[in-house]
């Protein structure tokens, strides 16, 4: 009997020790799970912040590009909400030369083409839709300016040039939705306009063809 009584407390002490070890192991496991949860939540917060921040960065960048298109070149005129339907009739454009809007289904060839006569507005506007820069000039522009502009255009894809006697300014550079008037070919804004708008972000159909269209001049009447 004495042996049984002495063994009982020994087994009880061992049981308590095992329970204590198990409890300690559970506490350690719970602590590990809490650490993992904190790390996971923190990583998710960082990732979400990066996604949101990246989204705002893209928005800010696009907004900055639009502001640059409007503000970097002094005197530029911007036209918004231009329609893009193909039509078979003449279009009464609200600006001269036109800077966008409905147009002919056939584009004016614009792979560095210098025209010696007036071209149809409706074909030229289609070329603008493809990302070209259209240079026009009045009859009273000095020949040296015409030659300088023609040299620039003839060596530059996605550009075209033609006389436009009825325009108000001496020399006009037009891209889709954007227009600039200058007095001479050596105005530094001419090169700026080419750089920003030839296949620029304003282009409705970037990369579309500038060959395979028409090279016809406007017919009288």
Ranges of each domain in the chain: 12-70, 76-197
Helix H or strand E segment including 203:
none
Model confidence pLDDT, tens digit, residues 17-65:
766 766 666 777 676 777 767 777 777 776 776 666 655 544 455 555 5
**pTM of the complete model:** 0.69
CA distance 216 to 200: 26
CA distance 159 to 161: 7
Model confidence pLDDT, tens digit, residues 81-119:
999 999 999 999 999 999 999 999 999 999 999 999 999
Answer for the pair 153, 160: CB distance below 8 angstroms, yes or no: yes
- Give me the architecture of the 76-197 domain, per CATH: 3-Layer(aba) Sandwich (3.40)
């Amino acid at each position: 009997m004495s042996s049984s009584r002495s063994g009982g407390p020994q087994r009880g002490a061992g049981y308590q020790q095992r329970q204590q070890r198990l409890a300690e192991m559970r506490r350690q496991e719970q602590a590990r799970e809490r650490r993992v949860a904190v790390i996971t939540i923190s990583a998710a917060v960082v990732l979400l912040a990066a996604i949101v921040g990246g989204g705002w960065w893209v928005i800010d960048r696009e907004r900055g590009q639009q502001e640059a298109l409007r503000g970097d070149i002094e005197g530029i005129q911007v036209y918004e909400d231009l329609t893009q339907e193909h039509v078979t009739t003449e279009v009464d454009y609200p600006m001269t030369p036109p800077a966008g809007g409905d147009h002919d289904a056939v584009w004016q060839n614009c792979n560095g083409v210098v025209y010696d006569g007036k071209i149809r507005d409706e074909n030229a506007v289609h070329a603008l839709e493809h990302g070209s820069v259209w240079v026009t000039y009045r009859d009273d522009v000095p020949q040296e300016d015409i030659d300088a502009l023609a040299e620039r255009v003839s060596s530059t894809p996605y550009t075209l040039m033609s006389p436009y006697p009825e325009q108000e300014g001496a020399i006009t550079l037009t891209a889709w939705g954007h227009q600039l008037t200058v007095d001479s070919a050596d105005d530094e804004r001419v090169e700026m306009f080419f750089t920003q708008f030839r296949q620029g972000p304003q282009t409705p159909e970037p990369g579309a063809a500038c060959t395979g269209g028409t090279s016809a001049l406007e017919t009288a009447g």
